[in-house]
Structure formats: structure tokens, C-alpha cells
A and B are shown apart, each in its own frame.
Chain A
Amino acid sequence: MLEIKNLNKSFGNRTILKNINLTVKDGEVLAIVGQSGAGKTTMLRCITGLETADSGQFLLDGAAFDPQGMDASDAVIGVVFQNFNLFPHLSVLENVTLAPKLVLKEAPDQAEREARGLLEQLGLGGKEKLYPWQLSGGQKQRVAIARALAMKPKILCYDEPTSALDPNLRDEVAKLIIGLKEQGMTQLVVTHDMDFAQKIADSVYRVQAQ
């Protein structure tokens, strides 16, 4: 279970997030919605450690954790970026195995076996040797998901997973998220698309502009 207590964040004297409290149960999907500029992405960036929260507490299964901690043991949250941010110079397989090898110190053959398993499961079997520029948007997103999952996170976060894709891929993304949920993955999804949020989420958190 992920708990966030009294999260505050401001840029200069502009308050973005004020006393945010939220709880996500294991295996649930939480959609974070709100108007453009309301602070959805900032909230996700605080949870994933890309921004420093001004104050607030982060608890995972009751134990405090530091989203910005840089130890392998702090890698409890995986991130799928809006633009995927794949490493363009690495093949699909290398994108997925890089961090397990460097950070989790997995043996190369073990990391590769696990990566192939993840890619297969996400419908990317046979694409291991391709480079990001050779993939479609949807494929890139699934590589980004595989890359995040390879670090064995407790929680997977998505920033606007539908916005960089063709509108007709929206249902595919929903299926993907629901498929991962069935496997027990806890997921946080930032989206501005209410229909999409309704489709995937167990609960919806609305961020209000301050």
C-alpha cells in the first residue's frame, strides 16, 4: 500500500500542491486527473523523485521511503514517461537490461532472460534487436513499460500514457494497464482524459488548481 501524507510543493511563491493526502491499495489503479496546469504531473514527479517535495511523507506498506534515494533498494517506483524517453542508442533488449545489470547487479544472462520474458509478455517478441527509432509509438511505450518493470518496482507510474499516441490506441493502453493490474501491479496514471480514467481506474484522484 502506498500512502502519501501532507504533500506540499510550490515553485517560488506559486503553490502547486497543497496538503495532498492519498492512499493506493496494492494491486489498484489510481487515476490522477485534473485540468491542464493543475499539478497532476508535478504530483507524479514528486512521488517518483524527479521533483523535491517541500514537505510530505511517503510510506510504502507502512514504511517511510525516500523517492529521491539513489540506492537500488529505493527503486520501488517505476516510471513510464509521456514521451517514453527510451535510450535511442540502445536496442530494445539493451534498454530493458541496462538498469538491472548496472543497478541490481544481475548477471547478463539472467537480466536478458527476464527482459525477453517481459518483452514477450508485452507483445514485443522478436523486436529485441531493433532500435527505438524503428518502433511505433505504441511499441515504444511497451518497451518503456518493460524497462520499468525489469527493475521489479512495487508501483508503476504513467504520465499521460495516451497523449503521445494515436487516439485509436487508447483502448490498447487501457487493456495493457488492466492486464498488469490483473497480475497484481499497483499503478498510478496521470491523465487528462476522463473516459480513459473511468475505464482503467479503481479510484480517481482529482487535483485542484491552487
Chain B
Amino acid sequence: MTLKYVAEIMPSLLQGAELTLQIFFWTLVGSLPLGLLVSLGLTSKFKPLKWLLNFYVWLMRGTPLLLQLIFVFYGLPIIGIVFDRFGAAIFAFILNYAAYFAEIFRGGFQSIDEGQYEAAKVLRLSYGQTIRKIVIPQVVKIVIPSIGNEVINLVKDSSLVYVIGLGDLLRAGNVATSRDVTLVPLILVAVIYLLLIGICTFVLHKVEKRYSYFK
């Protein structure tokens, strides 16, 4: 009976999970590089750029992601900027997560010893070479645990897209629960989230291990 029910609702849950994964994937693809660029700007000596980016980070971290989603999808059309549902979700998520990643990367950059830059300078490495070959590999090692935290948050934050009418994993479960008056869909939703986060944790540990060859 229950197994049969599980088999019945599984396709809609998996469909929801697929959307969750799409948001997860595209947000990371967009926000990690953007966050890296913003963090370089945050540490730059050009004051106006620094102010602008600090304002951006403040705005993104200072307002709820839910508000940002609503603003992009329901608010911006009022001034003529129209996104489709998925586009609005990705846009809001990338801008939001890039701000958090930028702060994490900034911390990473600032913990690199000045001596590393000096050693690179006397060897005549260019700024680009120094950042790419010397600084970034060390920053990556430092930031992995904090980035991992955000990655795990992202899996769960993606459920906020219900507010703009996207059918993600949580919404699929919610729909089934209200229709069939049973807890089973919500429990399955929890299990799928746990599995997804289990996989993320596993991959993050692997990456951390890959960088454990130096101290």
C-alpha cells in the first residue's frame, strides 16, 4: 500500500528534485566566479569600486533572499524588467550567493601572508601570475570549509523558489501532502534533501583532502 503510494508520487518528487538541482548547479556556476571577482574588487585600492561593492554585499546580505526573489520576479516587471520564473530565480540566487562567496574569498585573500607577494615580486612574477599561481591555490584551501557551508545552505535555500511559483522538491512534496493527507511525501522530501546534502558533504571532503598535501 505505502510502497505503491511511494511509487506513485516519486516521479513528481524527482521532477521537483531536478529543478532543485538545476537551481543549485546554475547558482554555483554563476556565483563562484562572480564572488571571486567581487572579492578582488573589495580588496582593491580604488575606493569608489570598493564602496560600490561593499554596498552590494550589504544589500544582498542585509535583506532576505525571499524578498530578493519576490522583488526580481514581481517587482522588476513594474519598471519593465521581466524575467521568466526560472531566470528570476537564478538571477536572484547568483547575486545573493556571490555576495556571501565574495566575503569568504576576501577573508581568504587577506589571510595570505604578505611575504608570498614579496617573494613573487622579487622573482618578477606579474600580478596575474602571482594571483593565479601563488595566491588562488592557497586561498582555495583556506575557503573550502566556509564555501562548503554555503553550498549546503544553497541546497536548502533553493526551496524558497516556491514563492515565485516554481515547482521544486519541497513544493512537490507539499502538494502531495495536502492532496492525499499523509506525511509520507514530506518524509520522502526530507530523505531526498538528506541524500543530496550527503553527496555534497562527501564531495566537499574529497576536495578538502585533495588540498591536504600542503600546509
Contact surface of A with B, Cβ cutoff 8 Å: 48-50, 70-72, 74-75, 77-79, 81, 83, 85-89, 98-99, 102-103, 131-133, 147-148, 151
Decide: A70 and B119 in contact? CB cutoff 8 A. no
Query: B residues within 8 A CB of A50?
Result: 118, 121-122
Q: Does B213 contact A (CB under 8 A)?
A: yes
Please give me the residue from chain B that is nearest to A151 by CB atom. Answer: B123
A98's contact among B113, B122, B123, B141, by CB below 8 Å, is which? B123
Decide: B124 and A74 in contact? CB cutoff 8 A.
yes
* Contact status B124-A72, CB under 8 Å: yes
Query: Least Cβ distance of A173 to chain B in Å?
Result: 19
At the interface, is chain B mostly helix, strand, loop or mixed? helix
Q: Is the CB of A98 within 8 A of B133?
A: yes
Taking A50-B121, A75-B123 as contacts, is the C-beta distance between A83 and B214 under 8 angstroms?
no
Interface centre among B119, B125, B213, B215 (most CB of A within 10 A): B119
**A85–B119 contact, CB under 8 A?**
yes
B116, A85: Cβ atoms under 8 Å? yes
Identify which of residues 15-33 in chain B touch chain A, using a CB-to-CB cut-off of 8 Å. Answer: none
Q: What are the residues of chain B within 8 A of A102 when measuring CB–CB? A: 125, 129, 133
Bound form: Cα–Cα A87–B112 in Å: 11
The answer to whether A103 touches B121, judged by C-beta atoms less than 8 angstroms apart, is no
Chain B contacts for A49, CB-based, 8 A? 121-122
Q: Complex: how many Å from CA A87 to CA B133?
A: 10
Q: What CA separation (Å) do A172 and B38 show in the bound complex?
A: 47
Tell me the chain B residues, 111-146 only, with Cβ under 8 Å from chain A.
Answer: 113, 115-116, 118-119, 121-126, 129, 133-134, 137-138, 141
Count of A-B contacts with CB under 8 A?
Answer: 59
Chain B residues closer than 8 Å to A78, beta-carbon distance: 122
**Across-interface contacts of B129 in A (CB, < 8 A):** 102
With known contacts A81-B115, A87-B119, A133–B124 Cβ distance under 8 A:
no
B interface list, Cβ under 8 A from A: 113, 115-116, 118-119, 121-126, 129, 133-134, 137-138, 141, 213-215
Instruction: List, in ascending order, chain B residues with CB within 8 A of A89's CB.
Output: 137-138, 141, 214
Residue contacts A-B, CB under 8 angstroms, 23 given: A48-B122, A70-B126, A72-B124, A74-B124, A75-B123, A75-B124, A77-B122, A79-B122, A81-B119, A85-B119, A87-B116, A87-B119, A87-B134, A88-B214, A88-B215, A89-B137, A89-B214, A98-B125, A98-B133, A99-B123, A103-B124, A132-B214, A148-B122
Tell me, rounded to whole Å, the shortest Cβ–Cβ distance linking A186 to chain B: 16
**Closest Cβ–Cβ distance, residue B133 to chain A (whole Å):** 7
Quote the shortest CB–CB distance from B214 to chain A (angstroms).
5
Given contacts A50-B121, A99-B125, A102-B129, list 16 more A-B pairs with CB under 8 A.
Answer: A49-B122, A71-B124, A77-B122, A79-B122, A81-B118, A81-B119, A85-B116, A87-B134, A89-B141, A89-B214, A102-B133, A131-B215, A133-B214, A133-B215, A147-B123, A148-B122
* CB contact between B115 and one of A85, A147, A151 (< 8 Å): that residue: A85
CB closest residue in chain A, given B213: A131
Chain A residue nearest in CB terms to B126: A70
